[in-house]
A and B are shown apart, each in its own frame.
Chain A
């Protein structure tokens, strides 16, 4: 059973991957990859009061979501959304756990409502005004695969355009030692049920048992292995090359996801 969607826009943020336009030649191998700290833009689409309250995962998600929507020239208010992340806001989680382990357990209300896994989806709704369904999921290291599968079923079963956002932000110590994510990363894909004037590629996804694709560049391969949302890199690389390709992405053992990429321009 193959699920089909048309990719209309991409947003990307990671080490030396500031956005899709500058990342494309790097992923295609035309420009060297030189990992450096991620520069996360401020969430200017949020009202000032909310802007001050949000943590890194919200900033990453909003940046890539907005980039993908702009590239697709899509109306955010008409797209359902799927947010996939292996964790929530690590800094916020650390402060809450420290507070609860201290003599004074009083939490800040903002800390608490920012602790929910769906905080980025909630802030995306506030920023975009989208009252459409938003699904927020986790499948540990398979979170990107689970997000892609969920988004593809929404597009193909509900015949609705869907914004997929996958993201991670590192935990601070002491949780970092237990869950060592080396870098922030985020990507967004605007997936549509029909081909349109902005369509970049047709994607066909199916469950597979095949071995997962690796990247030839050792630094990019390290990123893929270490950050769950970067498990998307073989797909992004195929899109950057612009050739028809079949890539196999990590999902949940023993399953993987095979994605056939057919460029549309």
Chain B
């Protein structure tokens, strides 16, 4: 694909609001997972990555119909690092119809429906009048919210392919730009804590009691997190700062195997990584760091490890940053693209946190400490339920 410039980006997660807080936590090799006390969820023995002060961020009055945790998290995220001003500048450059909005989420504002069901009319069973399905619960609500917040008039959608959602938006946005339908794309992911995912992953016995330990011998499940990550993608200008970050390639595939288990040999994952390399016109030897999907379930990490080892051997330093951020599900692809961009921009490899004993059965070079090596090209993996896989290649301009 033709490289695209990440002309502005930001992320908010349990590591903090915005890039400075995120970078500081990564530099200090520090995570943000804490025991779950979310909402009324006091009976699950697990840790979560909760974004601070989401509840303190009401939406402006003209956008009040979008009120829900997911859109509040989106709004909080848009205010960081001057991202909102960057979007306005892109609109000024290209026009309202030439800026697309492509966001990933898995559960959107489902928490609003979960809470509304507790307030059903005792006589009729009806949901309360203040529950608005379209602007909260519906999967599209977060992209609709962002499109309205900036008065945009271009193409938009939410991609909802579980935990690959906000990686796949990069691929779709790149196609829209290549087709000439738009000149800039606001991409990323927003996914927020809710009962469906907490009790759902609990039902699958996939929640770790302690902060998750990707690629550890004793890894025993995920820690659910939440995040808002936004990236503005544009065609690169004629000259770029050497530290500018480009999207070089994207690869997508399906496992065609099982709804909630990965292909045991990571075949789909391998196909997505190969496709991303091909899209970037790069060889495996030209990748300097891999931000793994690395959820910390025994089967996911084993399958991904096999796929990475098959393509890259143990030559490429790899880590999962989910030990620090938790698994932010539909926001993970966007969040980890931003973390990859930080690694490229600031010249370091973020080691995984919480991992004490790297699984010797997985033949990859897993980093448990930060490394002061400046990568030029990074691969980021995102895989999800339903056997959906997406890998992105990001690179430094110079």
Contact = CB atoms under 8 A, between A and B. Distances in A.
Interface residues of A, number: 68
Interface string B160-171: 111000001001
Given A130-B254, A207-B155, 15 more contacts: A3-B179, A87-B139, A97-B113, A109-B260, A112-B199, A112-B204, A114-B259, A116-B162, A116-B384, A118-B386, A122-B385, A131-B253, A135-B159, A135-B172, A136-B161
Nearest to B1: A157
A254 B153 contact: yes
A95 B388 CA distance: 25
Given A122-B387, A138-B139, A174-B125, A149 B155 contact: yes
Interface string B198-220: 01111110000000000000000
Contacts of A179: 133-134, 138
- Residue among A1, A105, A111, A117 having the largest count of chain B Cβ atoms under 10 Å: A117
Contact of A119 (B127, B156, B386): B386
B127 A137 contact: no
A107 interface: yes
A134 B204 contact: no
B323 to A, nearest CB: 24
Contact of B114 (A100, A106, A123): A100
B222 to A, nearest CB: 13
B144 interface: yes
B203 A118 contact: no
A130 B255 CA distance: 8
A152 B172 CA distance: 11
Given A113-B259, A135-B172, A107 B157 contact: no
Interface of B: 43, 97, 106, 110, 113-114, 117-118, 120, 125-127, 131-134, 138-141, 143-144, 147, 153-162, 168, 171-172, 175-176, 178-181, 195-196, 199-204, 252-260, 267-268, 271, 384-388
B120 A115 contact: no
Contacts of A255: 97, 153-155
Given A106-B203, A112-B200, A125-B255, A136 B176 contact: no
- Residue among B106, B120, B156 having the largest count of chain A Cβ atoms under 10 Å: B156
- Residue among B118, B155, B168, B204 having the largest count of chain A Cβ atoms under 10 Å: B155
Contacts of B147: 252
A149 B157 CA distance: 10
Interface string A83-109: 000111000010011111100011111
A173 interface: yes
Contact of A131 (B114, B160, B255): B255
A137 B158 contact: yes
B385 A113 contact: yes
A99 B106 CA distance: 19
21 contacts: A50-B259, A88-B139, A106-B202, A107-B203, A118-B384, A126-B258, A129-B256, A131-B256, A131-B267, A133-B252, A139-B157, A139-B158, A146-B155, A149-B181, A152-B179, A153-B176, A175-B113, A177-B127, A178-B127, A178-B131, A179-B134
Interface of A: 1, 3, 50, 80, 86-88, 93, 96-101, 105-109, 111-119, 121-123, 125-126, 128-140, 143, 146, 149-150, 152-154, 156-158, 173-175, 177-179, 207, 251-255
Contacts of A129: 256
Contacts of A96: 196, 200
B155 A118 contact: no
A125 B199 contact: no
Contact of B120 (A87, A121, A125, A174): A174
